Structure 1
Amino acid sequence: MKRALEQDTLHLVEHDGSEQTIASNAPIENHAAAGVNWTNLRLNDLESDHVNQRIQCLLSIARQISLFTVEQQKDIIEIIIQRLDKERDGDAKSMMILLIEKCSRYPNVNALVVLTYLLKENRQILQEPNNMRLVSTLYENLISDLSNSHHKVRAISISLLSLLPFIFSSNTTMTEMSVQKIVSNYARDSDPRVRKSALDALVQMHQRGCPLDLAIYNLSVASLRDDYEEVRMGGLNLMGVLSSLYPEHRMKLAHEEVNETTRLIDDAFNKVCDLVNDSAITVRTKACVMMASYQHVGPDMLSQTFSKQIMSHLKRRLPRYKAQQKKYANGQIPVAEGDIDVESDEFHILDSGACGSFIHGLEDEFQEVRNAAIDSICELCMYNEQLTKKAVEFLVDMFNDDIDKIRLNAIQSLRKIGTKSTLEFDEEQLEIAVGALEDNDPLARQATHELFTVVRLTVPVSLTTLLDALEANTKRYPMDVLSIYRCLRDVGKRHDDYVETLVPDLLKLDKRYLPKEANVEDIMYTAYVILIVNASSSNVKMLHHLPKYIFRHFAYFKSKYPDCIPDLRKLYKVAGIKLEGDVDCLPMTFSASAKKLVAADAESYMTATIDMLQVIKTQVERNELATALLTIDVATRNFKYITSLKPLLVGKSELAQLHLQCYQIVIKVKQSHSSSTYASTAQLAAASLLKHSYTMQHTYLGLSKDTLQAAMYLRILANVVWIFGILKQLPISSDTSFNVKNMLLAFHQRVKLIQQQFNLRDDHTLGKLELNLSSAIELPTTTKMSLLHSFITVSLLDICLDNPVKRTTADIVLPQANPDKPYKFASKYPVKLHLEVDVFNCSDTNQLAVEFILPDQSSFMLWPASGHFKQTTPYCFKLSTSVELTLSPWTEPGVVIIRIVQSFEPDLPGLDEYIMKYPNHSVPSSNSGPKIATSCVISEHLKYRLHPSTTSSNFAMNKKRSF
């Protein structure tokens, strides 16, 4: 294989002359990588004779690989592939392969061609005559080593022998079947470690594509009765392979008196079930896990797993004459007719291994076995609906398990089964299930709510029991209200016949009196309305018997809980109901054609509003500052209105509003230049510009390169404004020049950093600014400082709104704000809070944190573990975590502010953090928590009220009660 490099693409040329493209440098839409400075990578070090230099160069490439442009991506994969042939160091070669793997994720790289190339280039053994003679010698030595007295030599020889047929498939001496036969013989070795190695080698041969001989099945059966658990584990693996290869093979029953056959998969399942009673916990767990893979076992055999008695269809009775012959042959005396023969003439078709195997698994003393049994039951029920009824009975009993993970697994498994076939709960099972609503674990309670959405109750009185349990749940755990509403939504759809009879009691209706309108803020009334309206979607006749005021409530709850209320207009249309007067207060909807008109109107409105940005820029350049502020107000209102017309444009609209805020700040700085308050105004403006710049860069996805450059220019502008704000308030002294020089040096460092990051060394404005800075650093005279101040008059760079921009946001679901009911806690103990947050449009959850601003105004930052984030959709996550707050003692109710922040690394950490904290340069932080990072707020502030209680008062109350 040789390579050919053309102008736009990199090709691999095969031996037959065909070309396959590896990478292309064609532009990619919405690719906004800034690129890196090619000289900083020191790619020449890859040709160095020193391994350390080559590795350091590869590390530098790995750190900056995400910043490469399309052209740089194409060039770097070409360089690495060319160098891979020449590299001899193992560590460096491994790093190159990892880099090629990262590069293959680029959309302009053909990953399949790269993989094919790596497989061909890295084959180390060549099919040459000399090598084949060497391998034949190796084979002969391995055969002789199999007779070695040491078990390790035999075990390793077996593992190596099983690999040879796949590497040298053309060798007639080492065929797959001959090697398989040799390996099988050592599965009966005297040493258990050799037997285990032989069984594992057979499984590995199957995984490499070797068809295993059916005769090996008897070997796997014998291995299950081995005295050593490692061998029994290997036998289980081999049996699982064979039962998947030959499931329908008919094998004769072991009983000599019956000439019947059974399927291999049924016999294997029976053997696996028998190991559920094994003495070793690992074998029992493995057996329970493997049972899930036998989805195609006969239904009779599966039913036997939930019964400890052998079913009649698995028994056979010997013919009477054969039974008598058997007794005579054994020397037994026949009994007279009419007397009782205590010996049975029945026998079992198969071993009794499957008899009650799941019951034994669920009753096991180790939680690992019980967990595996629950998982297997769930998996088998997904493929065999006739097993569901028996499974429900035993899984519901697991709700009372001592281990919380077992309880949660049982609840979730039942819910999964319910998505396949409807579950039916009788009164006893419901009583057990609602007990899970008292669990302290919020995951268990939420899983129970989800379970009830797939359950059908067998008797009407059970629905009342369920509603009472959910009401107690809302009182004990108010944070579960939304989950309960979603539960009742589906409960109503499944139980419309039961709900119809309960409507008068739920709404407290009496035919003798006019109905009294209920309070829509009442939690349980809301729950009942959600239950009734969803039941009405299945039984529209119910709507005709409801009081009129409830239709207004339907519309109110539709706007408040849109996912819990069905489409009301469709519901009323089906029921033939026409609302009149003030009752018709449904939210406005549009037809399909009207929606298209609105979308087109929003796009045209967006284009016209974006054009206003150029008008604002022109007004600022002409120094028409007052007019520009009015235009900014109009444009801001337009962008907000666009958001209501088309939610898909929210990201663009918010980015444009942020840009307009920066314009407002710059205009105010220009207007206050000659005022006495310029020092404070300038520092506040610099802090705001820096914050907006970092917010623009780090909380928006899909930004173009032009927008990122505009954000960088904002930082330069903020630095200039801050310097002159500081100079305005500096006293005239000998140390002034020293302070000014330090500020200019930091400013110069920022400009160089931005030039390197965006490769803007040819930019005229930045080049002129750098020259002025270098001159002012040497001697900061008034003339030189005036040249720097002229940068404030430079207009802001334009932002690009062509990309589909999305903003990173977060919604705090739990805890909920409690302005009226403060959370009471003992002041000497930490406060434990459970947090649930919905995160949207986030590319890296490692940068997200939860910030707590305590009543004493100190801050505490919680960094959730990556496992606490559960991805819901691409770039969207659900955070579920807990925190313990150690608070300083106080006696009055206080407020803890909770917010979600996204951290980032500033360009100049010390200086930027100082500027952005103005006017609070010294904000106290919690000593117990980690260091407060620089961050952007991406959620609304949640105010959670706390009320400490002293232990002395509690002690006095307890003492009084004791008397």
Structure 2
Amino acid sequence: MHLTSDGSIHAIGQLLTSENAGLRVEGLQCLTDRLPLYDTDTLRQIALILHNRWDQESVDYVRQLLRRVILTFALHPAVTSLSTLQDLTKEFLTVSASALPASVQTSHLTTLTSLAQHRPAWVVNLLSRPDEFNNIIQRVTQYTLGYHVNVRVGSLGLYVRLATLAHHLAPLSTSVDTLGLVSHQQLPVTISRYIQDPHPKVRKIALDLLYQVHLAGYTLQPDLYDVFVDCLKDDYEYVRLAALRLVWTISKLYPGEILQIRKQDPTDSTRLVDNAFVKICDMVNDISMNVRTEACVLLGSYYDVQSSYLSQTLSKKIMSHLKRRQPFGKGGGKHEQLGRSAPSGGHHGSHPKSRRGMIPVAEGDLDVESNEFRILDSGACGAFVHGLEDEYREVRNAAITSLCGLCLQSAEFAKQAVDYLVDIFNDEIDYVRLNAILSLAKIASKHPIVMDQEQLQIILGVMEDANPRIRRGIHGLIGSVEVKDLTCLRTVISSLIDSMKRRSSDQTSIYQCLSQLGRRHFALVDVPVVEKLLNLERGFLVQEMSQNDPVYIAQLALVLNAARH
């Protein structure tokens, strides 16, 4: 028996009531394939047939397929009946979890999560029956302790989905205790406990859900910051990626929060935003390309970091805080100077643990393990240098964009970054070179940048690039910066004119570049420079230049724009 071409209700009923399980499966598959072809009335009739068939189906694999088909029809906008949804809810509550294989448990959880996501009316209906909702929450909580990872992942996702909807949709007269839920403030804390799960999938879903509840309006407390930082050391890439996003989120929520670096020293503290910046800088050295790229992207949004940390990102030298030595107490001696507990009088050996493991330090060296020395959060050291030198184009491109964003906020940092951006002009990837050129031009439009002869040699060499967008970008950059002296200006003018002779298609772009160059360097374009450019002689009248000569027009563009100022 096969489904008729018109997909009639009669044919569907015959297939679904057949004693042959294979025919029932065929009928369910045909229903799914023909779903877009049915009108509203037919869909409602089919939903009723599926509802009637649900209690009769006894074959496990057919029942599992039937569950998926019921869910598909239940999520269709034309099907408004909640009877099929109640069937799925009833099965979830009545069947013992221990009697079901992990795949079926996961299927149950996925089904209910889809219902909660796409059918809020189902959740509202459940909230009108607090006892039933409480039973569902209790069952889901049991599933979070399951042995199978997919069951724990699915149950955690369903719990958070139901909790967030209940907090927003439940009547004011209904308390969260009645529903079996934690409070609005406790939900992020409850989710954070699953970050310690032994399986990385659960750790990742817990981190993702924390970010989702943050977007839904729940408050992430600063106490969670240390938990997220620990996750940056996770062995799995996708866990580190999720943690990276949350470290950034917390630092934006509580930038001025004070963190104690060492509990035994209350004066050794830092702002949370600075600490988070350092942690993200450290992730630029991660083994995963995706993590390095994300870290470089996030760095560009830290506008309120201390300048000392910003400077460290462009230097591979590790700086340190040398703390002031504590004054010696009465009777203090050499042991106290070294910061060690010294045995006194005849009490030799009274502090064996403090003396054990003491490593002698040569004279003139620093004991980096002592309380007097702390490396200045070396994770920030050379972060952008490493990003710009990365082997993957995605990382380099992200580092350029973030470096540009930070330079726009700090003129001092922009001066330090110029050399690094100019070096990228020789990158092998077109769009990376173009991004570096446009970024430097953007910085120059806000902060004055002075180019020396060495930097100009690199920039002018890029004018021979085969990509016209890169050549036009270089022209725009040259028009945006200032040159160091007259020698540099003459070099730039000569190179631009030579380039125009070789590539007539760049004529308009070079005209614009020379116009901007004249406006920015009017003080350098004096009478001797003008006479040499236009071949003028004071002693006698020279031959008139052709006004159609592109070179003459380019020189006039420079001179006339300089004369305006």
Name the TM-score, length of structure 2 as normaliser.
0.71
Q: Indicate how the Cα distance of structure 1 residues 421 and 380 shifts in structure 2: closer, same or farther if over 3 A, else same.
A: same
Per the alignment, residue 223 of structure 1 pairs with 231
For 1:410, the aligned partner's letter is A
State the Cα distance separating 1:464 from its structure 2 match: 0.9
Are the aligned partners of 1:236 and 1:287 in contact in 2 as well (CA < 8 Å)? Answer: yes
Pick aligned residue for 2:323 from 313, 316, 319: 316
State the Cα distance separating 1:193 from its structure 2 match: 0.9
State the Cα distance separating 1:419 from its structure 2 match: 1.9
Alpha-carbon distance in structure 1 between the residues aligned to 2:215 and 2:480: 39
Per the alignment, residue 254 of structure 1 pairs with 262
Residues 173-222 of structure 1 show CA distances to partners (whole Å, capped at 9, x for unaligned) of 32223222221111011111111111111011101111112111111010
Per the alignment, residue 400 of structure 2 pairs with 374
Does the residue aligned with 1:390 lie in a helix, a strand or coil?
Answer: helix
Alpha-carbon distance in structure 1 between the residues aligned to 2:284 and 2:473: 28
Per the alignment, residue 144 of structure 1 pairs with 142
Per the alignment, residue 326 of structure 1 pairs with 340
Per the alignment, residue 683 of structure 1 pairs with none
Q: Indicate how the Cα distance of structure 1 residues 128 and 221 shifts in structure 2: closer, same or farther if over 3 A, else same.
A: closer
Alpha-carbon distance in structure 2 between the residues aligned to 1:476 and 1:215: 63
Alpha-carbon distance in structure 2 between the residues aligned to 1:92 and 1:151: 33
State the Cα distance separating 1:436 from its structure 2 match: 1.1
Q: Indicate how the Cα distance of structure 1 residues 378 and 315 shifts in structure 2: closer, same or farther if over 3 A, else same.
A: farther
Residues 743-765 of structure 1 show CA distances to partners (whole Å, capped at 9, x for unaligned) of xxxxxxxxxxxxxxxxxxxxxxx
Does the residue aligned with 2:305 lie in a helix, a strand or coil?
Answer: coil
State the Cα distance separating 1:496 from its structure 2 match: 0.4
Q: Which runs of 5+ in 2 are unaligned?
A: 1-36, 44-72, 80-118, 329-335, 343-353
Per the alignment, residue 176 of structure 1 pairs with 184
Alpha-carbon distance in structure 2 between the residues aligned to 1:367 and 1:334: 47
For 2:161, the aligned partner's letter is L
Pick aligned residue for 2:487 from 461, 464, 487: 461
Does the residue aligned with 1:383 lie in a helix, a strand or coil?
Answer: coil
Report whether the alignment pairs 1:509 with 2:536. yes
Residues 539-563 of structure 1 show CA distances to partners (whole Å, capped at 9, x for unaligned) of xxxxxxxxxxxxxxxxxxxxxxxxx
Within 5 A, what are the aligned runs for 1:87-102?
Answer: none
Q: Indicate how the Cα distance of structure 1 residues 414 and 335 shifts in structure 2: closer, same or farther if over 3 A, else same.
A: closer
State the Cα distance separating 1:315 from its structure 2 match: 4.7
Work out the percentage of aligned pairs sharing the same amino acid.
38
Does the residue aligned with 2:217 lie in a helix, a strand or coil?
Answer: coil
Are the aligned partners of 1:253 and 1:260 in contact in 2 as well (CA < 8 Å)? Answer: yes
Which structure shows the higher helix fraction?
2
Per the alignment, residue 491 of structure 1 pairs with 517
Q: Indicate how the Cα distance of structure 1 residues 462 and 137 shifts in structure 2: closer, same or farther if over 3 A, else same.
A: same
Residues 702-759 of structure 1 show CA distances to partners (whole Å, capped at 9, x for unaligned) of xxxxxxxxxxxxxxxxxxxxxxxxxxxxxxxxxxxxxxxxxxxxxxxxxxxxxxxxxx
Does the residue aligned with 2:408 lie in a helix, a strand or coil?
Answer: helix
Report whether the alignment pairs 1:482 with 2:499. no
Are the aligned partners of 1:289 and 1:372 in contact in 2 as well (CA < 8 Å)? Answer: yes
Within 5 A, what are the aligned runs for 1:450-599?
Answer: 450-500=476-526, 501-538=528-565
State the Cα distance separating 1:492 from its structure 2 match: 0.9
Alpha-carbon distance in structure 2 between the residues aligned to 1:276 and 1:191: 25
Are the aligned partners of 1:470 and 1:484 in contact in 2 as well (CA < 8 Å)? Answer: yes
For 2:202, the aligned partner's letter is V
Residues 929-960 of structure 1 show CA distances to partners (whole Å, capped at 9, x for unaligned) of xxxxxxxxxxxxxxxxxxxxxxxxxxxxxxxx
Report whether the alignment pairs 1:243 with 2:251. yes
Are the aligned partners of 1:378 and 1:414 in contact in 2 as well (CA < 8 Å)? Answer: yes
For 2:529, the aligned partner's letter is L
Q: Indicate how the Cα distance of structure 1 residues 255 and 490 shifts in structure 2: closer, same or farther if over 3 A, else same.
A: farther
Does the residue aligned with 2:338 lie in a helix, a strand or coil?
Answer: helix
State the Cα distance separating 1:515 from its structure 2 match: 3.8
For 1:447, the aligned partner's letter is G
Residues 653-698 of structure 1 show CA distances to partners (whole Å, capped at 9, x for unaligned) of xxxxxxxxxxxxxxxxxxxxxxxxxxxxxxxxxxxxxxxxxxxxxx
Alpha-carbon distance in structure 1 between the residues aligned to 2:243 and 2:40: 53
Within 5 A, what are the aligned runs for 1:661-680?
Answer: none
Q: Indicate how the Cα distance of structure 1 residues 293 and 537 shifts in structure 2: closer, same or farther if over 3 A, else same.
A: same
Within 5 A, what are the aligned runs for 1:94-173?
Answer: 125-126=123-124, 130-169=128-167, 170=170, 171-173=175-177
Alpha-carbon distance in structure 1 between the residues aligned to 2:138 and 2:76: 34
Does the residue aligned with 1:162 lie in a helix, a strand or coil?
Answer: helix
For 1:265, the aligned partner's letter is V
Which structure shows the higher strand fraction?
1
Residues 393-440 of structure 1 show CA distances to partners (whole Å, capped at 9, x for unaligned) of 100000011111211110011111122212221111111111110000
Per the alignment, residue 208 of structure 1 pairs with 216
State the Cα distance separating 1:510 from its structure 2 match: 1.6
Q: Indicate how the Cα distance of structure 1 residues 498 and 145 shifts in structure 2: closer, same or farther if over 3 A, else same.
A: same
Report whether the alignment pairs 1:408 with 2:416. no
Q: Indicate how the Cα distance of structure 1 residues 341 and 330 shifts in structure 2: closer, same or farther if over 3 A, else same.
A: farther
State the Cα distance separating 1:256 from its structure 2 match: 4.2
For 1:308, the aligned partner's letter is K
Q: Indicate how the Cα distance of structure 1 residues 168 and 372 shifts in structure 2: closer, same or farther if over 3 A, else same.
A: same
For 2:464, the aligned partner's letter is E
State the Cα distance separating 1:488 from its structure 2 match: 1.2
State the Cα distance separating 1:319 from its structure 2 match: 3.8
Report whether the alignment pairs 1:199 with 2:207. yes
Alpha-carbon distance in structure 2 between the residues aligned to 1:318 and 1:162: 52
For 2:187, the aligned partner's letter is V
Report whether the alignment pairs 1:302 with 2:310. yes
Alpha-carbon distance in structure 2 between the residues aligned to 1:311 and 1:320: 25
Are the aligned partners of 1:496 and 1:535 in contact in 2 as well (CA < 8 Å)? Answer: yes
For 2:244, the aligned partner's letter is L
Name the TM-score, length of structure 1 as normaliser.
0.42
State the Cα distance separating 1:123 from its structure 2 match: 5.0
Are the aligned partners of 1:253 and 1:350 in contact in 2 as well (CA < 8 Å)? Answer: no
Report whether the alignment pairs 1:280 with 2:280. no
Q: Indicate how the Cα distance of structure 1 residues 348 and 508 shifts in structure 2: closer, same or farther if over 3 A, else same.
A: farther
Bigger CA drift: 230-239 or 321-330?
321-330
Q: What RMSD over aligned residues (CA atoms) do the two structures have, in Å?
A: 2.9
Does the residue aligned with 2:482 lie in a helix, a strand or coil?
Answer: strand
State the Cα distance separating 1:456 from its structure 2 match: 0.9
For 2:496, the aligned partner's letter is L
Residues 21-64 of structure 1 show CA distances to partners (whole Å, capped at 9, x for unaligned) of xxxxxxxxxxxxxxxxxxxxxxxx9998468xxxxxxxxxxxxx
Q: Indicate how the Cα distance of structure 1 residues 260 and 442 shifts in structure 2: closer, same or farther if over 3 A, else same.
A: same
Does the residue aligned with 2:450 lie in a helix, a strand or coil?
Answer: strand
State the Cα distance separating 1:483 from its structure 2 match: 0.7
Are the aligned partners of 2:127 and 2:166 in contact in 1 as well (CA < 8 Å)? Answer: no
In the comparison of the two structures, how many residue pairs are matched?
A: 431
Q: Indicate how the Cα distance of structure 1 residues 249 and 462 shifts in structure 2: closer, same or farther if over 3 A, else same.
A: same
Alpha-carbon distance in structure 1 between the residues aligned to 2:121 and 2:444: 51
Per the alignment, residue 436 of structure 1 pairs with 462
State the Cα distance separating 1:140 from its structure 2 match: 1.0
Are the aligned partners of 1:270 and 1:354 in contact in 2 as well (CA < 8 Å)? Answer: yes
Per the alignment, residue 292 of structure 1 pairs with 300
Pick aligned residue for 1:234 from 218, 242, 263: 242
Residues 445-468 of structure 1 show CA distances to partners (whole Å, capped at 9, x for unaligned) of 011111112101112211111112
Alpha-carbon distance in structure 2 between the residues aligned to 1:225 and 1:193: 15
Report whether the alignment pairs 1:384 with 2:415. no
Are the aligned partners of 2:424 and 2:436 in contact in 1 as well (CA < 8 Å)? Answer: yes
For 2:381, the aligned partner's letter is C
Residues 837-893 of structure 1 show CA distances to partners (whole Å, capped at 9, x for unaligned) of xxxxxxxxxxxxxxxxxxxxxxxxxxxxxxxxxxxxxxxxxxxxxxxxxxxxxxxxx
Alpha-carbon distance in structure 1 between the residues aligned to 2:270 and 2:154: 37
State the Cα distance separating 1:536 from its structure 2 match: 1.2
Are the aligned partners of 1:308 and 1:356 in contact in 2 as well (CA < 8 Å)? Answer: yes
Q: Indicate how the Cα distance of structure 1 residues 504 and 315 shifts in structure 2: closer, same or farther if over 3 A, else same.
A: farther
For 1:326, the aligned partner's letter is R
For 2:387, the aligned partner's letter is G
State the Cα distance separating 1:392 from its structure 2 match: 0.8
State the Cα distance separating 1:125 from its structure 2 match: 3.7
Q: Indicate how the Cα distance of structure 1 residues 320 and 442 shifts in structure 2: closer, same or farther if over 3 A, else same.
A: farther
Alpha-carbon distance in structure 1 between the residues aligned to 2:430 and 2:355: 56
Alpha-carbon distance in structure 1 between the residues aligned to 2:381 and 2:423: 19
Alpha-carbon distance in structure 2 between the residues aligned to 1:333 and 1:188: 36
